[in-house]
Structure 1
Amino acid sequence: MRVFLLCNSSSSSLSPPPPTHHCRQKPLLITPQKPSFVSLVTGAAISFNLLFFSPLSSLPPPSIASDFTPSVFQSECREEDQRREEERRLEKAPELVTNEEIVKEAWEIVNDGFLGSDRNRWSPQSWLQKKEDIMSTSLQTRSKAHDVIRRMLSSLGDPYTRFLSPAEFSKMARYDMSGIGVNLREIPDENGEVKLKVLGLILDGPAHTAGVRQGDELLSVNGVNVKGKSTFEALSILQGPNDTSVNIMVKHGNCGPVQSIDVQRQLIAKTPVFYRLEQIDNGNTSVGYVRLKEFNALARKDLVTAMKRLQGMGASFFVLDLRDNLGGLVQEGIEIAKLFLNEGETVIYTAGREPESVKSIVAETVPLITAPVIVLVNKNTASASEIVATALHDNCRAILVGERTYGKGLIQSVFELHDGSGVVVTVGKYVTPNHLDINGNGIDPDYKKLPAWNEVVERLSKCQKQHG
């Protein structure tokens, strides 16, 4: 089973923004001829509502080094070889997986990590009874097995937990944030240190074609040791211009050889960042306007470029437009929020099924900019966009202007089943730095219409004094 990361199609009848030219060589364009952000028409809906994350279900506990004897190591190697052989067998003959095994696999995924908001509809006891009822029925065809999984997930009462056919899963999995067609996950080693493993690969993608395999450990990127680095840090090094080469060092499995591999990047994502400099107060004040359409693999890198250029052009205030941004790579949203926060300030809290699973995500460095910020939001500002908006707002770095946001604060993981289909499962939720539950509630703005900048400065200053 592989775990991938989610993209859902969304649509809207809202009017699109003025057309913006795209250029591969220069993805960030200054377009001073466009209308002012004050009169900007609400943007078109984003085609992807993406949530990318590691499942909140517990990772394997780190082993104790003193217990790691040669016989245990050899046993682990044999188990690893057997697992890889089983995966190769299933890739060549997925029909060998029984219908009952596919249904049971989907049931176990929900049982291990599903976060149910309605305890009347889901509990470990009721889910166990569901398994007994399902497994007592005849599953003579794969189509019937898939229908059973659909009904099983539908009974949970969660609109975000659902089944993906093999065709749907294949289409979803093609979205790539690494640029070389890999998904990475942080795994603790026997000493409790983080190592990065290839969780999944895009079939016939650059990395797969070059010889990277599922289960490989990523050791270095362009000579930079990634031991102990986060997934995001490694992906930031992996990313680069389309059609350029990146060298990666991988260890095949737990017991295999170390190999140096050159991989040709093939970025799928397009820049979601559009920006320009606005002059207000008869040209006496410069405002940097940045529109972020979605949180894809290029979002943070291109936003940093835009903000630095606008600073260099003299921007003393900033407007971050998140209207109609339905989400994106959650990790990108988190890292973008950190660009505006002081070291140690909370970006968001994550909560799983168990009360003790609440974790905080904080900024680790000084902010990229300290100038006052207005964040534009509306009813289609959702998911990762709401994380960014609340992180800046609750830490007194920005005010919110517009409409109440959508209220999508649940975390989903996407798991591939052994026949190529998949299940999307809600495994957690986000809570704002001020301990507000985003999901189903949304975030109210401070203003419905743009205030004067002196009012913005005064409000943020007062907020900062109250927070000490």
Structure 2
Amino acid sequence: MEVKMKRKNGIKIVILTIVMILIVGGGISGKVNERRETYKYIGLFSKVLSLVKSNYIKEVKTRDLIYGALKGMMKTLDPYSQFMDPETYREMQIETEGKFEGLGISIWIRDGQLTVVSPIEGTPAYEIGIQAGDRIVKIDGESTKDITLQDAVKKMRGKKGTSVVLTIEREGIDEPLEFTIVRGVIIVKSIPYSFLTEDKIGYIRIREFKKSAGKNLEIALKELEKEGMQGLILDLRNNHGGLLNEAVEVCDKFLPKNSLIVSTEGRISSQNLKYLSSEVPHPDYPLVVLINKGSASASEVVAGAIQDYGRGTIIGEKSFGKARVQSVLTLEDGSGLRLTTAYYLTPKGRNIDEKGIDPDIEVKLPTLPKIVSKIASKGYFRGFSQKYLLIHPDVNKEFRVKLAYLDEFSLFLKEKKFDLKEKEWKSATPEIKRELRIAITRQALGERIAYEITRDGDIQFQKAVEVIKEELSHRTLAQAGK
């Protein structure tokens, strides 16, 4: 009897806390009818909770019931608002620091489907060939229909060395692809690499807007400017976003002081904010920002501001279209709430949520042939490159994939019982050679050098170089005419 009384008291304390929170909110609003309705439904909630505790076939913990109800409450809002139990909240905090264990993909619910916003470079998901826009239809054989983001993350995250099977639907490919991905330690650097081309055009890759992204960009810019940079390519492709204040700090480098960078618009006045540039910008050299359908949120803040002011040229593909500001609130028991509180608007007042940013110059990357996607989904490019480097460890910047290496690779695939069709193999030879070169040089020389020496196959990068050269030429002619 004593035990039952303690449980009931526990329920009362929890319910009272919820009632107090909601009553205070109602008092502030001054809407008497809303306050009465709050009392009514809190009473209903309390009644159902009590009935479940007293009559359900199994004994259940009050905490589990309350947490389940709170998760259900968030599901009535939008796919992005969520209640996080203490464990999930701690994982989210660790992830924002840039190190965690898992696959290395950002996911979202789009049109009711679990969708990859972008894979993170250098991670298991990226290296096996997961792409922005892929629809995850199964996780370990279980359908993702009606799955929540929180549940999807839990299913995909796990200890290093364990594996998960994702079944993917991809635009341009008729049948689903199955990827077996071994989880790893994910370390995310905001700016993994930068370099200067022989034409004195700088390239900076911003992978994610983590803490210190603005500070790291400043360091990279100063180094490139010291080397004589005449134009800049800022690569935001597959950058799913991050911290808004870091995106603002990035814009600070390129826009005049006191320029409006982004504004937020919410239901309550305290969410209506304006973010202005506060620094003296870097020199006005030609600027190109690369985006694709994996560029989202904070990436779109940067691209939108640069585009609205005409400070640079946006090249690539339409961005993802996420313009929702989410506030993360810590609750007293260690749990957390991620709540959509506002939309953000570009300097010209554009709300690009669910619309995305259209590039000034559209350059679509070609769809990889089906055979290439299938080889990648099995991890065979990476597997062969590891085997190759054991025999040929002296790979350098001049490395090219010769026909003899292709023969070795086809034998490797046959050993793996891969269904190799000669016609498909021959038609996809250029793409297979490129993917092999990328995989081998990445493992032998690292990400930066691998991209630097394979960028000739990146048509979006090449278009950016062309645009910057044209701009430099126009400026030279204009200067000569003065």
TM-score by length of 1: 0.50
Unaligned runs of 5+ in 1: 1-94, 114-122, 179-267, 462-468
Q: Displacement of 1:460 after TM fit?
A: 11
In 1: Cα distance, 2:26 partner to 2:251 partner: 33
* 1:137 maps onto 2:43 in alignment: no
Q: Tell me if structure 2 keeps the 8 A contact 1:177–1:269.
A: no
Q: Displacement of 1:426 after TM fit?
A: 0.9
Q: Tell me if structure 2 keeps the 8 A contact 1:319–1:376.
A: yes
- Of Structure 1 and Structure 2, the greater helix share is in 2
Give the corresponding residue for 2:105: none
Q: Displacement of 1:380 after TM fit?
A: 0.9
Structure 1 residues 174 and 103, CA gap change in structure 2 (3 angstroms): farther
Give the corresponding residue for 1:167: 87
| From 249, 272, 285, the counterpart of 1:335 | 249
Give the corresponding residue for 2:334: 420
> Where do residues 173-184 of structure 1 align in structure 2 (5 Å cutoff)?
173-174=93-94
In 2: Cα distance, 1:278 partner to 1:109 partner: 58
In 1: Cα distance, 2:474 partner to 2:65 partner: 58
In 2: Cα distance, 1:446 partner to 1:429 partner: 23
Structure 1 residues 341 and 423, CA gap change in structure 2 (3 angstroms): same
Q: Tell me if structure 1 keeps the 8 A contact 2:231–2:468.
A: no
| From 300, 311, 314, the counterpart of 2:228 | 314
| From 393, 396, 402, the counterpart of 2:316 | 402
Deviation sequence 1:255-293 (CA, Å, 0-9, x none): xxxxxxxxxxxxx975321344343xxx5x311000011
Q: Tell me if structure 2 keeps the 8 A contact 1:392–1:398.
A: yes
Give the corresponding residue for 1:151: 72
> Where do residues 81-160 of structure 1 align in structure 2 (5 Å cutoff)?
98-101=13-16, 103-104=18-19, 131-138=42-49, 140=53, 141-156=62-77, 158-160=78-80
| From 182, 192, 217, the counterpart of 1:303 | 217
Letter in 2 for 1:159: P
Give the corresponding residue for 2:467: 453
Indicate the SS of the match to 2:192. strand
Which structure's CA Rg is the greater one?
2
> Where do residues 22-421 of structure 1 align in structure 2 (5 Å cutoff)?
98-101=13-16, 103-104=18-19, 131-138=42-49, 140=53, 141-156=62-77, 158-174=78-94, 271-279=189-197, 283=198, 285-354=199-268, 358-421=272-335
Structure 1 residues 413 and 454, CA gap change in structure 2 (3 angstroms): closer
Unaligned runs of 5+ in 2: 1-9, 29-33, 54-61, 99-185, 364-462, 476-482
Indicate the SS of the match to 1:300. helix
In 2: Cα distance, 1:346 partner to 1:174 partner: 32
| From 347, 362, 370, the counterpart of 1:433 | 347
In 2: Cα distance, 1:96 partner to 1:272 partner: 45
Letter in 1 for 2:356: G
Structure 1 residues 460 and 393, CA gap change in structure 2 (3 angstroms): farther
Q: Displacement of 1:294 after TM fit?
A: 0.5
In 2: Cα distance, 1:434 partner to 1:460 partner: 27
Q: Displacement of 1:329 after TM fit?
A: 1.5
Identical amino acids, percent of aligned pairs: 30
Structure 1 residues 130 and 368, CA gap change in structure 2 (3 angstroms): farther
In 2: Cα distance, 1:275 partner to 1:112 partner: 53
Q: Displacement of 1:107 after TM fit?
A: 5.8
Letter in 1 for 2:467: W
Q: Displacement of 1:128 after TM fit?
A: 7.4
The number of aligned residues is 265
Q: Tell me if structure 2 keeps the 8 A contact 1:269–1:298.
A: no
Structure 1 residues 426 and 128, CA gap change in structure 2 (3 angstroms): farther
Q: Displacement of 1:333 after TM fit?
A: 1.0
**Aligned-pair Cα RMSD in Å:** 3.6
Indicate the SS of the match to 1:348. strand
Give the corresponding residue for 2:126: none
Q: Displacement of 1:366 after TM fit?
A: 1.4
Indicate the SS of the match to 2:261. strand
In 1: Cα distance, 2:255 partner to 2:36 partner: 43
Q: Displacement of 1:441 after TM fit?
A: 1.2
Deviation sequence 1:243-262 (CA, Å, 0-9, x none): xxxxxxxxxxxxxxxxxxxx
TM-score by length of 2: 0.49
In 2: Cα distance, 1:344 partner to 1:334 partner: 12
Q: Displacement of 1:343 after TM fit?
A: 1.0
In 2: Cα distance, 1:448 partner to 1:112 partner: 52
